């Protein structure tokens, strides 16, 4: 702990800095992801409303820290991250808000109107240790994504991933999810685009390692380079029940939320904020043997999985249905979805 009090009050504390260094590896697997995806479809054009001047003079600053990237990190090693602000970055909404975006409860995940199940081999991936199999996705009050101990195309495991058919830009991204528990399992909700979709590699992440689900990892990439990852200790075990996780992506920055509370934000004037509309993806997976130094030994139980009860996107400056509209709970107390709401 570094002595700061991040937004959210005394319940929150910054995890040990070594955890931030481990997060640098968390999307090393995206390189393998890009190598196997087919080209994407037409991009959503995000709202380009100009943000207001950022007023964060009183926001606490993180100390500079050295980043030691794991040996298997595939991109150019970044310089040590600078200070990052743990506060919401305000912006000015348009005078007249418009509708747009989507909300899905994933009640029939294999025939969802927004997301498609990935179903292909990862044998040639340098990082994924499990094939994507649509059979590992079940309808259980949403989508339940499993990691199974079964051989497929020479790999000892199978996993599950869903990705949107369209790309989306600036706005608010929300999910109600419960990550998988178990060493070696990774649960993720993120935006991604890259060369296979005709773009540079841009990405924004919310991620959990099953070896310690009392921590949440935030990360973002621009042009294939990880910028300033952060790891926070949660005041609960995320694998115990679903919680609401979200991020606002704007031209002037990104702010991440847990149960509606802003937890982490990019620094003022950060030039590493992604700019390209991206696919929305969520997954449960395990890596190849050499990834165990990051996500832990692959000792998870067969069928360990992540639950996704809701996913929504609202373009910046617009109004529309959100997962948070029908998620009720005091901050960090665990919540539920109101059945029947749209």
Q: Which residues contact 286 (CB under 8 A, 6 or more apart)?
A: 129, 130, 147, 157, 159, 184, 185, 186, 295, 298, 300
* Helix (DSSP H) and strand (DSSP E) numbers for the chain: 3, 22
Please pick, among 95, 207, 267, 292, the residue that the annotation labels catalytic: 207
User: Does residue 203 have an active-site annotation?
Assistant: yes
Q: Which residues contact 20 (CB under 8 A, 6 or more apart)?
A: 65, 67, 81, 229, 230, 231
**Cα separation, 334 vs 342, whole angstroms:** 21
Using alpha carbons, select from 127, 114, 112 the residue that is nearest to residue 31.
127
- Residue owning tokens 């992540």: 306
User: Does residue 95 have an active-site annotation?
Assistant: no
Using alpha carbons, select from 118, 152, 136, 158 the residue that is nearest to residue 286.
158
Q: Which residues contact 101 (CB under 8 A, 6 or more apart)?
A: 168, 171, 312, 313, 314, 315, 318, 320, 321
The DSSP call for residue 175 is E
Please pick, among 203, 267, 292, 319, the residue that the annotation labels catalytic: 203
Q: How far is CA 173 from CA 4, 23, 51, 205, in A?
A: 27, 21, 18, 11
SS (H, E, C) 111-137: HCCCEEECCECCCCCCCECEEECHHHE
Q: How far is CA 72 from CA 75, 80, 132, 137, 208, in A?
A: 9, 18, 22, 29, 19
Active site residues: 203, 207
């Amino acid at each position: 702990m570094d002595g700061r009090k991040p937004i959210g009050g005394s319940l929150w504390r910054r995890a040990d800095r070594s955890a931030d260094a481990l997060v640098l590896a968390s999307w090393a697997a995206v390189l393998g992801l890009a190598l196997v995806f087919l080209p994407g479809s037409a991009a959503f054009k995000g709202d380009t409303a100009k943000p207001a001047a950022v007023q964060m003079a009183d926001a606490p600053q993180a100390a500079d820290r050295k980043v030691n990237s794991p040996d298997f990190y595939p991109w150019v090693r970044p310089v040590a991250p600078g200070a990052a602000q743990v506060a919401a970055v305000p912006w000015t909404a348009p005078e007249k808000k418009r509708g747009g975006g989507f909300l899905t409860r994933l009640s029939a995940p294999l025939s969802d109107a927004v997301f498609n199940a990935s179903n292909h081999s990862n044998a040639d991936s340098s990082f994924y240790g499990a094939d994507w199999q649509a059979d590992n996705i079940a309808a259980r009050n949403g989508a339940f994504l499993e990691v199974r101990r079964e051989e497929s195309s020479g790999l000892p495991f199978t996993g599950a991933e869903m990705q949107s058919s369209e790309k989306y830009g600036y706005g608010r991204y929300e999910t109600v999810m419960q990550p998988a528990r178990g060493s070696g399992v990774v649960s993720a909700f993120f935006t991604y685009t890259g060369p296979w979709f005709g773009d540079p590699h841009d990405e924004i992440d919310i991620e959990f390692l099953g070896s310690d689900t009392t921590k949440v990892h935030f990360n973002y990439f621009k042009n294939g380079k990880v910028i300033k990852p952060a790891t926070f200790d949660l005041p609960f075990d995320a694998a115990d029940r679903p919680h609401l996780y979200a991020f606002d992506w704007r031209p002037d920055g990104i702010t991440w939320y847990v149960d509606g509370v802003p937890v982490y934000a990019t620094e003022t004037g950060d030039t590493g904020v992604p700019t390209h509309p991206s696919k929305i993806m969520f997954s449960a997976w395990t890596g190849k043997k050499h990834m165990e130094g990051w996500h832990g030994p692959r000792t998870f139980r067969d069928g360990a999985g992540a639950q996704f009860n809701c996913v929504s996107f609202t373009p910046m400056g617009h109004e529309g249905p959100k997962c948070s509209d029908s998620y009720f709970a005091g901050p960090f107390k665990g919540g539920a979805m109101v059945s029947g709401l749209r």
